[in-house]
Structure 1
Amino acid sequence: MKALGWNFRGFGQSGRKTQLKEYIKKEKIDIIFLQETMRQDFTDQELRNLVEGEQFVWHWTPASGRSGGMLMGIRDSLFEVGALAQGEFFLSAKLYHTPTKFKCEFIGVYGPADHSRYASFLQELEGRVDNSEFPIMLMGDFNLIRGAQDKNNNNINWVLVNLFNEAIARWALLEVVRTGAAYTWTNKQSNPVRSVLDRAFVSLEWELRFPLARLTAETRIGSDHTPLILDSGENAPRRMARFSFENSWLAVPGFVEQLKLWWVELLITNVNPRDPIDVWHGQASGLRQCLKGWSANLGKERRVIKADILAQIQGLDRIADEQAWMQRVGV
C-alpha cells in the first residue's frame, strides 16, 4: 500500500492539482491525505477527475474561511473501509487491507501553526491513538520538530520539542525513516527558514507486518511543503492501465491535424467493412493504438524535460542545505 501526505496549500491551484494527479498515477497511491485544502466542499466530478475514475472512499473537513481543511481518500479496490472519524486536527479510517488481510487504522494529522494550541492538539491525538484497537499509521503535517537536526537555525522552542517527543514515547509509535528532501517545509524567503514538520509514524504491530516500509520526501514544487509518500513495501497486483484521452493533447501544436491524418489513413486501410458499426469499431480501435504510441513519445519528451527541471531544483535544495549546515557550524 502507498499513502500520500501533503500540505497542499489550496485545492483550487490547477498546476498543483495536476502535480497531485501525476503523483497519484505514477506512484499508484492508495491512501490520499491532503492538508490545507482551503475548500468547504468537493464535487463528485472533481474527485473522480483527481483519481481518473478509480473508486475511492472520500472524507473531508471544511476549511475555516480561506485556511485549513483536510481531505482523505481510500482506494476502494484495496481496502474495506470501516468507521470514519474526525477531530479538529485529524481524519481517520479503520481499514482492512484485502491483499494481506491486515486490519489497521490510518490517522491523517494537521497540527496547528498557533503554538498556544499545542496542548489541545496533542491531547486530541492522544485520545485517538489510545482508543484505537488496530495497528496505527499516523501521517501528516504536525507543525512540530523533534530536535535541532530538524531546523536550519537555532531558533527552537525546546518546550514544544520535549512535549512532542514525550507524546510520541507515550503512544509507543516509531517514526518511519525518511529519505529524499532534507527538510519538508520552507518559508520561501531569500534567507529561508527550513524545517521538518511533516512525518509518518507507525505502531510496532504495523512495522512488524510491513518491515520494508519506507518514507520518501519528494521534491517541493509550488507548495511550501514537500509531498510525503509512505510505501509499505508490499507489491499488490495491479490492473492493466486503461486508455484515456487527455484533454491537454488538444493544446499540443499539430495534434488536431495529425488526428485527421490518422483518421483518413485508417479509413483507407479498414477494407471490406460489413456495416457502419464495423467501420466505427475499426476506426476507434486503430485511433486508440495511434494515440497510445504518440502519447508514449510525447510523454517521454516531457519526462526528460521534467526530470531535468527536478534535478536542477534538487541541486538548489542541496546547496541550500549545505549553506545552512555551514552557517550552523560557523564555517
Structure 2
Amino acid sequence: MNFSAWNVRGLWGDGKLRMVKDLKKKYSLNMLGLIETKRQVVTNFDVARIWGRDDLGWEYVSSDGASGGLLLIWDESVFKMNEKCHVWEELSYIAGLCQVPCCFMGDFNEIVHVEERKGATTVPRSGKEFRNWIQDMQLVDLALTDCDFTWFRGRSCSHIDRALVNVEWLEVFPETWLRGGQGNCQIIAP
C-alpha cells in the first residue's frame, strides 16, 4: 500500500491541483493526506479533480480562515479488501481450532485467475490476496465440473462461488466434486 502526506500550503488553483494529481499518479498512491489546504469547503468535484472518479473515499476538516485544513483521500477498493482479509483471518482461526475436515463454500466475490471473469485482463489486487490466503491455508479450490462460471448478469459472468476444502476433507471424502450452474453451486461428496 502506498500513501503520502503533504503540506500543500493551500489547495488553490489548477497548478496546485495538477501537482497533487501528478503525485498521486507518479507514486500509485492508495491514500493521500493533504495538510494546510486552507479550504473551508471541499466538494466532490474538488476531490474528483485530484483523484479521478475511481472508487474513492474521502474526509476533510475545514480550515479556520486562512490556516489549517486537512483532506484525506483513499482508494476504497484497497480498504474494502482489508475487510475481506479480516473475514479470511477469522476463517483461518476457526480452521486452526478444529483439526477436522473443513469445507468453506459460498460466494467469495473474488476471482483468483483471469479466466474466471469473462473479458478480464488482470486479477484484481483483492483476488491476488484471496489466492494467497487459499495457498497459505493449504486449501484445495474444487474445480467446477460442468461450467466455467457461477455468476451471470447480462453479458457479464464470473466464477466467484467456490468450495474450498482442506486435506483432511479430501481424506474422508476423496471423490468430492463441485457442480455449478446459474445462481447456485452444489458440492457432491459421494
> Shift of the alpha carbon at 1:157?
4.5
The aligned residue for residue 216 of structure 1 is: 179
Q: 2:189 aligned with 1:232, yes or no?
A: yes
Question: How far, CA to CA, are the matches of 1:157 and 1:138 in structure 2?
Answer: 21
For structure 2, the residue ranges without an aligned partner over 5 or more in a row are 1-79
Q: Deviations 1:25-44 (Å, cap 9, x if unpaired)?
A: xxxxxxxxxxxxxxxxxxxx
The residue type paired with residue 132 of structure 1 is C
Q: Quick one: structure 1 residues 229 and 167, their matched pair in 2 at CA, closer, same or farther if it must change by over 3 Å? A: same
The residue type paired with residue 231 of structure 1 is I
The aligned residue for residue 120 of structure 2 is: 154
3-state secondary structure, aligned to 1:194 = strand
Of Structure 1 and Structure 2, the greater helix share is in 1
3-state secondary structure, aligned to 1:125 = helix
Q: 2:166 aligned with 1:203, yes or no?
A: yes
> Shift of the alpha carbon at 1:155?
5.7
Q: How many pairs does the alignment contain?
A: 111
The residue type paired with residue 185 of structure 2 is L
Q: Quick one: structure 1 residues 172 and 137, their matched pair in 2 at CA, closer, same or farther if it must change by over 3 Å? A: same
Alignment of 1:1-331 (within 5 A): 115=81, 117-154=83-120, 156-186=122-152, 188-189=153-154, 192-218=155-181, 220=182, 226-233=183-190
3-state secondary structure, aligned to 2:179 = strand
Q: Quick one: structure 1 residues 133 and 208, their matched pair in 2 at CA, closer, same or farther if it must change by over 3 Å? A: closer
> Shift of the alpha carbon at 1:119?
2.3
> Shift of the alpha carbon at 1:134?
1.0
> Shift of the alpha carbon at 1:165?
1.1
> Shift of the alpha carbon at 1:147?
0.8
Q: Is the 8 A contact 1:135 1:205 kept in 2?
A: yes
Question: How far, CA to CA, are the matches of 2:84 and 2:123 in structure 1?
Answer: 12
For structure 1, the residue ranges without an aligned partner over 5 or more in a row are 1-113, 221-225, 234-331
The alignment's C-alpha RMSD in Å is: 1.8
Q: Quick one: structure 1 residues 172 and 152, their matched pair in 2 at CA, closer, same or farther if it must change by over 3 Å? A: same
> Shift of the alpha carbon at 1:207?
0.6
Q: Quick one: structure 1 residues 168 and 182, their matched pair in 2 at CA, closer, same or farther if it must change by over 3 Å? A: same
The aligned residue for residue 329 of structure 1 is: none
Q: Deviations 1:128-161 (Å, cap 9, x if unpaired)?
A: 2222221111111111111101110226453212
The residue type paired with residue 230 of structure 1 is I
Q: Is the 8 A contact 2:151 2:160 kept in 1?
A: yes
3-state secondary structure, aligned to 2:120 = coil
Question: How far, CA to CA, are the matches of 2:187 and 2:111 in structure 1?
Answer: 19
Q: Is the 8 A contact 2:114 2:123 kept in 1?
A: no
Question: How far, CA to CA, are the matches of 2:112 and 2:96 in structure 1?
Answer: 21
Q: Is the 8 A contact 1:130 1:171 kept in 2?
A: no
> Shift of the alpha carbon at 1:232?
0.9
The residue type paired with residue 102 of structure 2 is I
> Shift of the alpha carbon at 1:230?
0.8
Question: How far, CA to CA, are the matches of 1:147 and 1:196 in structure 2?
Answer: 9
3-state secondary structure, aligned to 2:165 = strand
